Chains A and B, each alone.
With several copies, the nearest count.
Chain A
Amino acid sequence: MDAITASDLIRLFDAWKALFSVEREFLIALDGKVGDSDLGITMSKSFAAAAEAVAAEGEGAGIAKLLRTAGATMARAAPSTMGTLTATGFLRASKAVEGAEALGTAETAAFWTAFRDGIAERGKARVGDKTILDVLDPIARTLADAAASGKPLAEALAQATAAAEEALEATKTMVAQHGKAAAFREKTVGLQDAGATVGVFLIRALRDFAAA
């Protein structure tokens, strides 16, 4: 597809919900290594709640409103670090695409840029700190470049996903600076960051959704 409409967005949340239900145990185990094992629980809970909320609201509400509903729902459903950060991301993305009828490459770039900035502001982490930000930053940059050079959405998302996957791999070399993992210091080297993994899951599912 060339652009994501409000009705697409509702189905996208369904896809994300299904994804995190499948990856629940994997994320629990991943967060368990240097954390508290809650990530799989909170992500599956919050995306399930968001998917239901946007479906209940319906496409008539429009993209921005749907994203706001998703963010607000997630904040309530799973107030963990990642739960609140992703909620913040969707709330900021909502503002960034205010008035848009559909998300083409430019709007999708604006979406992820706002998503990244919101999380950066809320979490006060920097790129290189071994957080979700390490994949959100290349996602936002790649999409902005793609938008500037007028690439179609599917191609832009494929590039963004590749960049995110590479960035996720790079988190293995980093030492965690934030959250529960930070207490484990050098022991976090060699492990991929759990939050960054969530970032890759999000963009990968979006790519597949747009490619379908």
Chain B
Amino acid sequence: MKKFLNDPVDFVDEMLEGIYRAHPQVTYAAGDKRCLVTANVKPGKVGIATGGGSGHLPLFLGYVGDGMLDGAAVGGVFQSPSAEQMYQVTKHIDQGAGVLYIYGNYSGDIINFDMAAELADLDGIQVKQVVGNDDVASSVVGEEHKRRGVAGIFFVYKAAGAAAAEGLSLDEVARIADKARLRTRTMGVALSSCVVPEIGHATFSIGEDEMEIGMGIHGEPGISRTKLAPADAVVDEMMARIFAEQDYKAGDSVAVLVNGLGGTPLEELYILFRRVGQLLDERSVTVKHVWIGEFATSMEMAGASISVTHLDEELDRLIGKPAGTPFFQHVPA
């Protein structure tokens, strides 16, 4: 295991110490460093909380900030935070307008967020939930509720965060988050494994010349394992699956996220985006927003994912709004 760490058991907590040292814009609730909240709670605003396992930076906590989220419960590497932690985050960020949970479709997270919502309800805090399930590879059409949540949750955060910043109600913010969720699809491809610090060896093995299309961000099995193909062919296959999911017409517009899983150089992500752009051009679909970089990683896994949100006017406008967190800045041109 080639990692900069001290005792693997302290991995998450020492990372958090570094984060609090570096970024006074975030702090923590209930004396628990794993209950990360904005230092700048906005009175009267609908709160948005997320949470999930560590090992995916900047996901999840990196999106806590202006125009995005208000809090994030932080779990161990690839492990759900506790319902108690989610509940503490909820209590801290609630401003009387209710709290929206946005997180990925993993059973550990669901069960804990459900329990946190129950606890919050006992305090009279209104909670709604939107569960990201953008990973096309993780289940077939018709069984979308079984799909995992991956990098596409970024667009759900972005749209919902902007809506909450505009002062919309919990119902409205939840409606918008849900629309962003329903219109977002992601396909991933992995080239190498990650290593969970407390485990110390690769989560899975993959040949020196192989890729796995559709692999999950914890190493969940994908759709096909084949020889590494040229970048354009990889994108063609991924985009074909994304296009097949929604009815894209000439003149439609999209937001695109080309996300690195951790070990893949930024140069390569731009080579992938070049082809994504060509394919969208061929369909006369306009790229209104694009982000390229590391947005939802899997430690040092080499690989990438492509997320596409099929925009309508409302999502276009909200995704374009400014945002500022310690890990993500958006300053509209």
Contacts and interface: CB of A to CB of B under 8 A. Distances in A.
Say if the two chains contact directly (CB < 8 Å): yes
A127 B199 CA distance: 33
B75 to A, nearest CB: 7
Interface string B87-108: 0000000000000000000111
Nearest to A88: B115
B186 interface: no
Nearest to B83: A75
Interface in A183-212: 183-184
A4 to B, nearest CB: 26
A200 B323 CA distance: 50
A38 to B, nearest CB: 7
Nearest to A122: B111
B322 interface: no
Interface in B121-160: 138, 146, 148
Interface in A69-112: 75-76, 79-81, 84-85, 88
B75 A79 contact: yes
Given A75-B115, A183-B138, A80 B84 contact: no
Nearest to A32: B199
A177 B114 CA distance: 19
Nearest to A123: B111
A88 to B, nearest CB: 7
B199 A76 contact: no
A150 interface: no
A80 B165 CA distance: 33
Nearest to B80: A79
Could you say which interface size class chain A belongs to? Answer: 20 to 34
Contacts of A37: 199
B111 A36 contact: no
B112 interface: yes
A61 B82 CA distance: 25
Interface stretch (B213-221, B238-246, B283-291, B325-333): B213-221
Contacts of A178: 107
A79 B54 CA distance: 13
B189 to A, nearest CB: 16
A122 B115 contact: yes
Nearest to B203: A36
A180 interface: yes
A177 B145 CA distance: 11
B103 to A, nearest CB: 13
Nearest to B137: A183
A21 B216 CA distance: 31
A80 B75 CA distance: 10
A182 B106 CA distance: 11
A180 B78 CA distance: 11
Contact of A79 (B78, B81, B146, B148): B81
A84 B220 contact: no
Nearest to A119: B111
Task: Specify which of A37, A76, A81, A123 lies most central, judged by the most chain B CB atoms within 10 Å of its CB.
Answer: A81
A80 B115 CA distance: 12
A24 to B, nearest CB: 14
A183 B107 contact: no
Given A182-B146, A183-B216, A80 B83 contact: no
6 contacts: A36-B218, A79-B108, A79-B112, A80-B80, A80-B108, A183-B220
Given A36-B78, A36-B218, 8 more contacts: A79-B81, A79-B108, A81-B80, A84-B115, A122-B111, A122-B114, A179-B108, A183-B220
| Closest 10 A/B residue pairs (Cβ) | A79-B82, A183-B220, A179-B107, A81-B108, A84-B111, A81-B107, A79-B80, A76-B84, A79-B112, A84-B112
